[in-house]
Amino acid sequence: QVQLVESGGGLVKPGGSLRLSCTASGFTFSDRYMNWIRQAPGKGLEWVSYISSGSTYTNYADSVKGRFTISRDNAKNSLFLQMNSLRAEDTAVYYCARAQQLGPEWFDPWGQGTLVTVSS
């Protein structure tokens, strides 16, 4: 079955960096757009970034633009999120989610999430 497993979360100090990974299985990873979405503790969902199947197109929420970089390795069925200059407000559960072949417009399924905590 389709499965997404995130890893790489943890505790990091403000200004620090972290790299999240998402490993996909059960579908042709290289065919699909992929997204990162986050959820701060007790808060709602916030879209973070997407990447097209061949990495040609990427986009970011204004709140992370210039600090986060999305990438993928289709040979390893893996999605990444490099997070630099982390702030307290980046504290959240980060989910990876599969999208369509032709665009990022909806998310199905989602991984279980990985918690990122930014605190001194």
Q: In the complex, which residues of this chain contact other proteins (CB under 8 A)?
A: 35, 37, 44-47, 50, 59-62, 95, 103-113
Which is closer to other proteins, CB of 27 or CB of 61? Answer: 61
The number of helices, as runs of H, and strands, as runs of E, in the chain is 0, 10
Please state whether the peptide bond connecting residue 109 to the residue before it is cis, i.e. omega within 30 degrees of 0: yes
Q: Quote the least distance from Cβ 110 to other proteins, whole Å.
A: 4
Whole-number Cα distances in Å, 99 to 9, 17, 84, 87, 88: 22, 26, 25, 28, 28
Which is closer to other proteins, CB of 13 or CB of 65? Answer: 65
Which is closer to other proteins, CB of 11 or CB of 102? Answer: 102
Q: Quote the least distance from Cβ 108 to other proteins, whole Å.
A: 4
Q: Quote the least distance from Cβ 32 to other proteins, whole Å.
A: 14
CA torsion angle for 24, 9, 41, 68 (degrees, to 10)?
-80
